[in-house]
Amino acid sequence: MSRSLTSAREEGFRVLLKELGPVGTVDFLRQLENGTGNYTNERERLLENDSVDVIVERIKKRKLGEG
């Protein structure tokens, strides 16, 4: 079953308002901003010299509170 994006958006707003109320809906929608920059380029630049193994070790250390 296919429906228009407008219909899906309207239904989404109805559900948000019902479940979160007006203030909660606004708070939720504020978090959906597009933001700025290019995440893909930044990620590639930040990780260009690191292997997957190095990244995994960093994650493990962070989870253990070591980094």
pLDDT at 2 over 80: no
User: Both 28 and 46 in a single domain?
Assistant: no
- Report the distance separating Cα 13 and Cα 17, nearest Å: 6
User: Both 43 and 58 in a single domain?
Assistant: yes
What is the full DSSP assignment across 20-53? Answer: HHHHHHHHHHHTT---SS-HHHHHHHHHTT--HH
Instruction: State which residues form the domain around 24.
Output: 1-33
User: Both 50 and 29 in a single domain?
Assistant: no
Token reading at 45: 């630049």
Mean pLDDT of 6-19: 95
User: Both 1 and 29 in a single domain?
Assistant: yes
Please tell me the total count of domains within the chain: 2
User: Both 29 and 41 in a single domain?
Assistant: no
Angle at 59 between CA 53 and CA 65, to 5 degrees: 140
User: Both 11 and 29 in a single domain?
Assistant: yes
User: Both 45 and 27 in a single domain?
Assistant: no
Predicted model pTM: 0.46
Token reading at 13: 């707003």
